[in-house]
Chains A and B, each alone.
Chain A
Amino acid sequence: MLIEITKDLDQLAFAEVLEKESGTDVKKCYQCGKCTAGCPANYLMDISPSQTIRFSQMGMKEKILNSQTIWNCIFCETCSTRCPQGVDIKGVMDGLRRMAIRQGIRPKAQVRNLEKAFKDNIKSFGRVYEPGVVLDFNFRSGNILHDVIYFPLMLIKRKISLLPHFKRTAEVKRVLRKAFQISRKAQEEAKE
């Protein structure tokens, strides 16, 4: 790989756009690797969290916007909580996703399926009903038995419950509707 830095290129321009998008200054990262060390989703990523930050510093926009990393991040915030330099890595991932979507980059079908399953699930139940998400996801992706083997153990350990709990469904629906509206509007504005 070769990074060409010409004279009129503002190497930090991308970092600055990203700062506006995510509210965090990637220049602060000194590449200690703490974020990568603790990331539970790193095994799903083609670029590690710390490398994502480094690529941002070096203005390697295309590389990160086209990566799987930004979509496979589960937003657990372990990285942001631990970063000694106060870099909000999760925020960066989030910002990068928005930038990617605005550029017309779409995640792989699997990622989209999970997102749909998740969104529909909270729309109907007001909160996440995990067996529902998984089953929905499995139907959408055509692999009905995927991960089903874990169900009994998780039930016994009370990690999931058999039946959904409904929680103020109507209100949550209203909140979500509003949120989707805002996000659609923002996306349309961005397109113009």
Chain B
Amino acid sequence: MAKIGVFVCWCGSNIAETVDVKRAAETIAKIPGVVYSVDYKYMCSDPGQDMVKNAIKEYNLTGVVVASCSPRMHEKTFRKAASEAGLNPYMLEMANIREHCSWVHDNKEEATQKAIDLIRMMVEKVKRNKPLQNIKIPVTKKALVIGGGVTGIQAALDIAAGGIPVILLEREPSIGGHMSMLDETFPTLDCSQCILTPKMVEVAQNPLVTIMTYSELEKLEGFIGNFKATIKKKARHVNVEECTGCGTCWTKCPTKVTSEFEQGLGIRKAIYIPFPQAIPSRPVIDEANCMKFTQNRCGICAKICPKQCISYDDKEEFIEIEVGSIVVATGYDLMPTSAFGEYGYGKYPDVVTSLQFERMVCASGPTLGDLQRPSDKKKPKTVVFIQCVGSRDPEHHKAYCSKICCMYTAKQTMLYRHKVHDGNAYVFYIDIRSNGKNYEEFLRRAQEENKAQYIRGRVSMVYQDGPDLVVEGADTLTNSQVRIRADLVVLATAMVSPIGVKELAQKLGIGYDQHGFLTEAHPKLRPVESATAGIFLAGCAISPRDIPDSVSEASGAAAKVLGMLSKDELEKEGVVAIVRECSCTGCQNCIRVCPFTAIALKDIRDKAGNLIRQVANVNPGLCTGCGTCTPTCPSRSIDLQGFTDEEIFAEINAMAELH
């Protein structure tokens, strides 16, 4: 027989002014099963909580209703008090007679009646409540970082600094990402390689970090604290343990391929390391171009390798790893320039992208920093930079601002003027966004000291005229059209989400926006978390940003990972869905609607191991208790514990009986 205690709170005058709390408590006392009913000025105060605890003990209460404020406010408080008195915390419910009653009504008579109704509903519910246990989830103390750009490297270093082993996954042959391609970086003009390489070496030498390059995530199963990831290691054809990186193979390889790292401006071999400081400094064979694979001839590299570590028969491998938490740092790509016919990219060799320009001025670039334009190797005397190429153009391309092109264009005008002192640098822009520490000052320097000429307007077209490129644009500040004869045109193309990130996000079960950038759990308050527990985000994978922002986020995500993995077990509320297997038909309705992919089919087998049928099965680690599944089940076989059909109907009936 239920023994329910009811505690009606005044909340000072917040409730008592509008609700006759005394009458409410007295009326409720008459409901069958209610053995104790009382009102008090502040239930949440220490004496108030003591009243609850004492009554539980004294009257051997089986259930408690606290009629006060919203459960968002104090459910935790009162449930804790109940469990301290020996009652299962889920046997305590709150009736919200403040937000739902006293604050929104002024007629005391009606408000009192409504309060009584609300309390009566909760009494009927709590009579049917079942004790629930919090769910404890064991934690694998290991993390996975996907993407080996500066963001991923920083996240891995910070997680390792907290004593947690990390796997750093990179799909290219080397870690380093885009930062390794840059020349000098704004706003301090320090050389990108000089600040990145030490970090790359540090992460490679850290005993807690395992770097897996030329590898991708194939599959992810499990849930927070207990992920099981399948990694695909692409066939490298080089025994990384034996190889010393001596370079004999790539020196002798006869097959020349345009280098992705050099943005098509340089040459690599079919067996190659992407750049001299690559980590690991071990080559890979590019099957698409190697003659051994395309024509089954050559085979020189295997013959000449002094350590005999080349094997053409290597196959891709699949490796399973278990991790507790994941950071996604897959970065960005530049928008394919084929989209911009009007700027003549691809048609005219001297129209280049911003990343190509970085390689053209970089001391480790294909010309060792001697700036030459691609067509005739001449030093460009006039360079036109075009900003917002593809960005801020909702009609044709991307609506968003790529955030960093203003700054790197200013930087590139400086780098250019440092190479060609009497050169002319023109920049077409629509607005300048220089919102960072020392950024505006940097921009002013580009314009005042380095004499970059800023022209406010977009460019309509670029065409070739003899050896020159002619750029036709506008300067809205003088209300003129502008026609510039130039040697080189640099396009600040939009930053976009890299190929394959949407598929990756689907494997991870995390969200992405219409542009393929990953979605934060909350754009302001949870900026480095995905909506899926245990998976964090950082860097340009979320949206375009510069190195300082990327690195800060990497450290932020690492702190979240460490916070999570510092515990031995994760605890979550027992309010999760449960399937009644005897009546479940395995129709999979619930599986389709669950927003957290928490439900899967489970095999039911007989003693001999024969499959009899399949039923839905909820993974309590993943279930958030949202309740989406329950109304979709045609046989009413899935129910949400803590909010079962029986409990909810009891509430509704309690109200219906009265009216």
A interface vs B, CB < 8 Å?
A: 1-7, 10-12, 25, 27-28, 30-31, 51, 54-55, 57-58, 60
Contact = CB atoms under 8 A, between A and B. Distances in A.
Contacts of A10: 424
Interface in B405-428: 424, 426
Given A2-B481, A7-B424, 13 more contacts: A2-B480, A3-B480, A3-B482, A5-B482, A5-B484, A7-B487, A11-B424, A11-B426, A12-B451, A27-B448, A31-B477, A51-B478, A60-B478
A47 to B, nearest CB: 10
A60 B482 CA distance: 12
Contact of A1 (B424, B453, B468, B479): B479
Contacts of B381: 7
Contacts of A4: 483
A60 B487 CA distance: 23
Given A27-B451, A57-B453, A7 B478 contact: no
B180 interface: no
B644 interface: no
A58 B448 contact: no
Interface residues of B, number: 24
A29 B658 CA distance: 77
A5 B478 contact: no
Contacts of B456: 31
A63 to B, nearest CB: 9
Contacts of A54: 477-478
Contacts of B480: 1-3, 58
A95 to B, nearest CB: 19
Contacts of B482: 2-3, 5
Contacts of B424: 7, 10-11
Interface string B441-466: 00010011001010110000000000
Nearest to A11: B453
Contacts of A12: 451, 453
22 contacts: A1-B478, A1-B479, A2-B481, A3-B478, A3-B480, A3-B482, A5-B382, A5-B426, A5-B483, A5-B485, A7-B485, A10-B424, A11-B424, A27-B448, A28-B448, A30-B447, A31-B456, A31-B477, A54-B477, A58-B455, A58-B480, A60-B478
Interface string B380-422: 0110000000000000000000000000000000000000000
A60 B481 CA distance: 13
B562 interface: no
Contacts of B487: 7
A58 B447 contact: no
Nearest to B468: A7
A7 B486 CA distance: 7
B573 interface: no
A3 B480 CA distance: 7
The dominant DSSP class at the B interface is: strand
Nearest to B451: A12
A2 B483 contact: yes
Contacts of A25: 448
Contacts of A57: 453
Contacts of A1: 478-481
Contacts of A5: 382, 426, 482-485
B485 A58 contact: no
Contacts of A55: 478
Contacts of B447: 27-28, 30
B370 interface: no
B110 to A, nearest CB: 60
B645 interface: no
A10 B455 CA distance: 15
B475 interface: yes
Nearest to B481: A2
Contacts of B483: 2-5
A20 to B, nearest CB: 16
A6 B485 contact: yes
Nearest to B467: A7
Nearest to A16: B451
A6 B384 CA distance: 12
B483 to A, nearest CB: 5
Interface string B468-503: 100000010111111111110000000000000000
B7 to A, nearest CB: 64
A7 B382 contact: yes
Nearest to A57: B453
A3 B477 contact: no
Q: 3 closest A-B pairs (Cβ-Cβ)?
A: A1-B480, A5-B484, A3-B482
A84 to B, nearest CB: 11
A55 B481 CA distance: 13
Nearest to A1: B480
Interface string B42-77: 000000000000000000000000000000000000
B80 to A, nearest CB: 58
B169 to A, nearest CB: 45
Contacts of B444: 28, 30
A128 to B, nearest CB: 37
B44 to A, nearest CB: 54
A59 to B, nearest CB: 9
A46 B482 CA distance: 22
Contacts of A11: 424, 426, 453
A2 B482 CA distance: 6
A58 B454 CA distance: 9
Nearest to B440: A30
A35 B447 CA distance: 20
A55 B477 CA distance: 9
Contacts of A28: 444, 447-448
